[in-house]
Amino acid sequence: MPLTDAGATQEHVSNSAAFSHTGSPEGWGVVSSQPIRTILAIFVLSGAAGLTYEIVWARQLVLIFGNTTQAVSAILTGFFGGMAIGSALGGRIADRVRRPLAFYGLLEILLVAIVLATPTSFGLIHEAYRGLFNSLETSPAVLALLRFAIALLALGPATVLMGATLPTLTRYLRRQSDHMSVAFGTLYASNTIGAILGAAAAGFILIELLGLTGTLLVGASCSATAGIVAIVVDRTRSQEVAKGSGTIGEWPMLPCSAPRDGDRSRPRLALAIGFLSGLTSLAYQVLWLRLLAEGTGNTTYVFSVVLVIFLAGLAIGASAFSRAERLHVDTIDLLAIGQIAIAALVLVGTVAIIDRHAVPSFGALGSTTAVFWYLALAALVVVLPTTAIMGVTFPAASRLLSTSDEVATNAGVLLAANTLGAICGTFLVPFVVIPAIGSPASLALVAVVNALAGTALAMTRRPTRRRRTFLAIPGIALSIVIATGALTGRAFVDPTRSLILRSGGEVFATAEDEIAPVVAGRTGAQPQLWVTGTSMTVLSVDTKLMPTLPLMLRPDSRTALIVAFGMGSAHRSAVIDGLSVESVELVPSVPKMFGYYYADAAEILKNPNGRVIVADGRNHVELTTRSYDMIVVDPPPPIETAGVSVISSREFYSASRARLTPGGVMMQWVPFGQTVDEFRAHLRTYRDVFQHVMVAFGPGGFGTYMLGSDTPLSLDPPNAQAVLERPGVLADLSSAFDSPARTTNDWMRTILGSVWIQGDAVARFVGPGPLITDDRPLPEYFLLRRLFNPTSATTTRQVLLAAAGGS
């Protein structure tokens, strides 16, 4: 899920090396830096826990609301909204408590209790949403408001507490003789480093090893440790004060900040900078993730790589700000130069990497781990320098806040403004800007906003006209360059479209909505569909056979549900087969490309027996009250695609079985490309739900069909022939470029010969082992298995035949 410097850093932690300072406050003697490092260490744990919670909760709530942008926005708003409330209210409370460190420890302990209760609370929320969904399905506006309310209710208690922690520690670490920017900048650097640890641990290690619940418990243990240690340290310090060793206000110490010419309290400007920082940082994260992910297969690790590098840049910049806080640098100049530098670095990164589509495609590399390395290198160039400047400019805004004793209040209000900017970005970027002008132009627009903001800041300077001009002219010139490049197509271009054209291919049409960019075209003889730069499918016989094969097993079937519309092949075949079919597609622009692949697309879409629903497939299966004679599921390739586990888990198969009529059949397509052990996990999970399972090879050679039912499955020749003799069926199957047969007899031999294993042979092949569940999304989290257990061969028809022969 996307994070801003509000969401990604509000709860996260620090570089203790920035605090090697020792001081000698009067009456206290020489103070070791060790106590300060202890405080920073516990805040590191808190920060890592906060990011871990965000990753796990976002995934768990997607299972409730669906993986649509509307649902994700509701989740982000619930998370950021709670953080904003916690920052503002928590700061006010922290300024009034006598022992802020003890108060911080209490916040962490309360947070642990709420985290441990989330499995139960989320379960209750799921049931409530399920109960209200069907009555509100025809009122999308009301349903959207319901999602926002439920998300805030689900996340509010925890995120309010999380939002209060940073203002509380800002007050604790700030000496009364210093400006709050010292403590604020220090903690901002600190919590970002904690965020990096949490993102890396959860994304690359913990979820694969422990699952979502286990990862949540690791986060809770970090919060508990942080809270307990904070309370112990506070009690120890209080006992020392009681013995007359010192006073509470004298410890800890941070470096003093030097005065800067022209610096004065300008709270409105500080809040405006905080708001802009939240808005633009979220926008950049969303846009970079889309543009860098194109062609990579869009796996979960793509998000993890970009997120970690994004946070690393913030940490580097914030640490640099903390170290340089004693330098004589004017705040307005620093902010103006920072905003202009951000825009310049965005332009350089886009032209050097994104426009050139420098991240090789998944298909070209053939290895997800290789894609990650290329992606990491590209992100280092595009993301790291820009976010480093962001890491400087946001804490620098705290210099403009009041130097009054209400340290936590000021810090909380600044963080709340930053988080509100993030919430606005959550709506504006995916719902308004991207659908209107596309991701590349949106990136240019945000860069222009930064450049003009820098120009405006420069114009607020009083000293000399020459100084104002020196800072303003580069901002205006840069804005013109970026806008001209985007409008003329010389920069900020669609990388997938550019790559197709450079390779000699043809682009039929492009579109981009709130979910993903979509391109219809061809690079060879066959048309293709690209979503997020990855080719989804071709007009293969394997897709045409998806509804026809289950129909041969249950010739009396009348209704069908297809999850994932794609190029429309399965939907079209189901209509030709005579079925009443509903097809669910997550990406709104995908069905619009149907006409570029089939001449009769308009006729098929107008057919009363066919209906296309733009929604999350998992969500539809769980929440609909309809029943179907067959359910066909065609997950997007590659098999490791982010989110694929939600339609490959035991819970999804159980929900699908509940939607089937008695004797109904479910078909799950499993493409080749995963390891044999991973394929066994898929089939083992499927068999755990369906009593009767049959597995057949696709005649096009792209993968396998898993077919399941609560009654025995048998591919009888008379039934298969009867289906083939239905009007249009034989012509449809034979029209694919890779069709191995043309006549009824040839198709009979092909289909009957495609059956691989069924019944007890399936049980022998899968054996004992792990299941794919919502809590253990094994297909998406595979890095450790493939790095440290590379002995399992990659699936092909020959490999699976050999593996079954030896079982």
User: Is residue 5 very low, low, confident or very high in pLDDT (cuts 50, 70, 90)?
Assistant: very low
Q: Give me the mean pLDDT over the 250-260 stretch.
A: 46
Q: How confident is residue 234, by pLDDT bands cut at 50, 70 and 90? A: confident
Q: Does the pLDDT of residue 417 top 60, yes or no?
A: yes
The pLDDT of residue 463:
54
Give strand pairing partners of 312. none
Q: How far is residue 260 from each of residues 257, 328, 333, 450, 517, measured CA to CA in Å?
A: 9, 6, 11, 24, 47
Mean pLDDT calculated for residue range 252-281? 71
Examine the pLDDT at 32 and tell me if it is beyond 70.
no
Dihedral angle sign, alpha carbons of residues 521, 523, 529, 534: negative
Task: Judge whether residue 73 has pLDDT over 80.
Answer: no
Cβ pair 92, 408 in contact under 8 A: yes
Q: Is residue 23's pLDDT more than 50?
A: no
Work out the pLDDT band at 3, boundaries 50, 70, 90: very low
The per-residue pLDDT of the chain, averaged, comes to: 85
The more confidently predicted of residues 379 and 632 is 632
All domains of the chain, ordered by start, with CATH? 16-254+265-487 (1.20.1250.20), 538-805 (3.40.50.150)
Question: When comparing pLDDT for 538 and 5, which is higher?
Answer: 538
| Strand, helix or coil for residue 521 | strand
Q: Is pLDDT at 499 greater than 90 in this prediction?
A: no
Query: Hunting for tokens 């310090």 — which residue is that?
Result: 237
Dihedral-angle region of residue 42 (phi above 0 means left; psi in -120 to 50 means alpha; beta otherwise): alpha
CA dihedral 378→381→382→385, nearest 10 degrees, is 150
Cα 128 from Cα 535, distance rounded (Å)? 38
Q: What is the pLDDT of residue 142?
A: 79
The percent of residues above 90 in pLDDT, for the chain, comes to 52
Q: Read out DSSP for 39-107?
A: HHHHHHHHHHHHHHHHHHHHHHHHHHH-SSHHHHHHHHHHHHHHHHHHHHHHHHHHTT-S-HHHHHHHH
- Average pLDDT over every residue of 452-463: 81
Tens of pLDDT along 163-187?
Answer: 999 888 888 876 443 556 667 777 7
Q: Which residues contact residue 411 at a Cβ distance below 8 angstroms, ignoring those fewer than 6 apart?
A: 87, 91, 166, 167, 170, 171, 180, 183, 184, 398, 401
Phi, psi of 626 (to 5 degrees): -80, 155
Number of DSSP helices (H) and strands (E) in the chain, helices first: 29, 12
Kindly write down the DSSP assignment for every residue of 97-158, as one continuous string: -S-HHHHHHHHHHHHHHHHHHHHHHHHHHHHHHHHHHHHHTT-HHHHHHHHHHHHHHHHHHH
Cα separation, 371 vs 401, whole angstroms = 44
DSSP code at position 603:
H
Using the predicted structure, report yes or no on whether residue 15 has a pLDDT greater than 50. no
Q: What whole-number distance in Å separates Cα of residue 27 and Cα of residue 29? A: 6
pLDDT at 275: 94
pLDDT value for 148: 79
> pLDDT-derived band of residue 369, with 50, 70 and 90 as boundaries?
low
Q: Which residues pair with 521 in a beta bridge?
A: 507, 528
Q: What is the DSSP string of 198-223?
A: HHHHIIIIIHHHHHHHHHHHHHHHHH
Tokens of 356: 């050139």
Residue holding tokens 């005579």?
578
The larger pLDDT score, comparing residue 489 to residue 755, is at 755
DSSP 608-643: TTEEEEES-HHHHHHH----EEEEEE-PPSSTTBTT
Instruction: Evaluate if residue 11 carries a pLDDT over 90.
Output: no
Alpha-helical runs (H) found in 350-464:
362-365, 368-382, 384-396, 407-427, 434-437, 439-459
**Chain centroid offset of residue 388 CA:** 21
How far apart CA 140 and CA 785 sit, in angstroms, is 42
Greater confidence (89 vs 629) lies with 629
Burial of 613 per CB tally in 10 Å (0-12, 13-18, 19+): middle
Structure tokens, 253: 């110490």
Note whether 189 and 170 are within 8 A (CB).
no
pLDDT of residue 527: 94
Instruction: Please answer whether residues 305 and 376 qualify as being in contact, where contact means their C-beta atoms are separated by less than 8 angstroms.
Output: yes
User: Is 177 or 493 the better-scoring residue by pLDDT?
Assistant: 493
Interval 553-600: pLDDT, tens: 999 999 999 999 999 999 999 999 999 999 999 999 999 999 999 999
pLDDT tens figures, 294-338: 877 778 888 888 899 999 999 899 888 877 766 667 888 889 999
- Residues 267-281 pLDDT 10s: 889 999 999 999 999
* pLDDT for residue 245: 52
Q: Which of 11-15, 369-373, 389-393, 601-605 has the lowest mean pLDDT?
A: 11-15
Cβ-contact 252, 170 below 8 angstroms: no
Cα angle 695, 696, 702 (rounded to 5 degrees) comes to 120
Q: Which amino acid is at 405?
A: D
